[in-house]
Amino acid sequence: MTSLLEISRVSRDFGGVRALDDVSFSVAEGEMVGLIGPNGAGKTTLMNVICGLTRATEGAVVFAGSSLNNVRPNAINHLGIARTFQIPKPFVGMTVWENVLTASLFGGRRGRSADARRAAVERALEIVGLSPRARVAAESLNVAGRKRLELARALAMEPRLLLLDEVMAGLNLKEVEAVMGVVERVNGEGVTVLLIEHVMKAVMGLARRIVVLHHGQVLAEGTPEDVTRDPDVIAAYLGSGIAYEGQDAR
Q: Give me the residues that bind another protein (CB under 8 A), please.
A: 51-53, 72-74, 76-78, 82-83, 85, 89-98, 101-103, 105-108, 134-135, 137, 139-140, 153, 157
Q: Closest CB to another protein among 110 and 174?
A: 110
- For residue 58, the tally of other CB atoms under 10 A from its CB is 12
Could you tell me what percentage of the chain is helix, strand and coil, using 3-state DSSP and rounding each to the nearest 5? 40, 25, 35
Residues paired with 161 in a beta bridge: 81, 192
Q: Closest CB to another protein among 74 and 223?
A: 74
- In angstroms, give the least distance from the CB of 237 to another protein: 30
Q: Closest CB to another protein among 103 and 186?
A: 103
- In angstroms, give the least distance from the CB of 114 to another protein: 11
Angle ∠(171,234,230) on CA atoms, nearest 5:
115
Residue closest to 10 by CA, chosen among 37, 47, 39: 47
Q: Closest CB to another protein among 108 and 216?
A: 108
| Antiparallel, parallel or unpaired: β 3-14 and 58-63 | antiparallel
- The CA–CA distances, whole Å, from 221 to 3, 29, 78, 113, 184 equal 16, 18, 29, 40, 21
- In angstroms, give the least distance from the CB of 156 to another protein: 9
Q: Closest CB to another protein among 52 and 224?
A: 52
- In angstroms, give the least distance from the CB of 119 to another protein: 14
Altogether, the residues listed in the chain come to a count of 250
- In angstroms, give the least distance from the CB of 26 to another protein: 21
Q: Closest CB to another protein among 91 and 249?
A: 91
- In angstroms, give the least distance from the CB of 105 to another protein: 7
122 close to 156: Cβ distance less than 8 angstroms: no
- For residue 22, the tally of other CB atoms under 10 A from its CB is 14
